[in-house]
Amino acid sequence: MNTERPDDALLAMQGLENAEWTGQGIAGLAYRTNDRVRAIADLEMDLALSPADFMIVLDASARRAEADADSRS
């Protein structure tokens, strides 16, 4: 796994330019996660999507649960 210290400019953007680097394979893990999420986004992402969609899905589910509860009572 890639354990090299990330680019100094990237560290500086986080205020970590002077920070000690743990070197626990973290850079490799970040690259792997980045690549996998990007690959999923290549397939699934589109302009119509928004982070608010999830709460809308939950809200619709809550309404359905309420209707189900009403129909049982």
Partner 1 sequence: MQILDLDLTELAALIATGEISSREATKRSLDALETIGRDLNCTVSTYADEAMASAAKADQDLSRGLNHGRLHGVPMAHKDLFEVAGRLVAAGSKVRRDHRATRTASTMRRLAEAGAIHIGALHMSEFALSPTGYNGHLGYCRNPWNRDFITGGSSSGSAAAVAARLIPGSLGSDTGGSVRIPAGACGITGVKPTYSLIAKDGVTPLSPSLDCVGPLARTAADCALLLDVIAGPDASDPLTSHAPRVSYTAALGNGGLDLSIGVLPRRDLEGVDHEVLAILQDGIANFQNLGAKIVEADISSFEVINELNRAVLVIEAAALHRRQLVDNPQDFSPHVRGRLETGLYLPATRYFEAMSMRGKLAARFVEQTFASVDLLLLPCIPFPVPPISMETDGVSGTVTDDIVKFTRAINYLGIPAASVPAGFTANGLPASFQLVGRHFDETRILAVAHAYQQTTDWHRRRPAIV
Residues that bind partner 1 (CB under 8 A): 6, 10, 14-16, 19-22, 24-27, 29-30, 33-34, 36-38, 40-41, 44-45, 49-59, 61-62, 64-66, 69
* Residue 53: CB minimum distance to partner 1, A: 3
Please give the C-alpha separations between residue 57 and each of 22, 36, 41, 46, 71, in angstroms, as whole numbers.
39, 24, 19, 17, 21
**Can you tell me the distance from the alpha carbon of 14 to that of 33, in angstroms, rounded to the nearest whole number?**
19
* Residue 3: CB minimum distance to partner 1, A: 10
* Residue 4: CB minimum distance to partner 1, A: 11
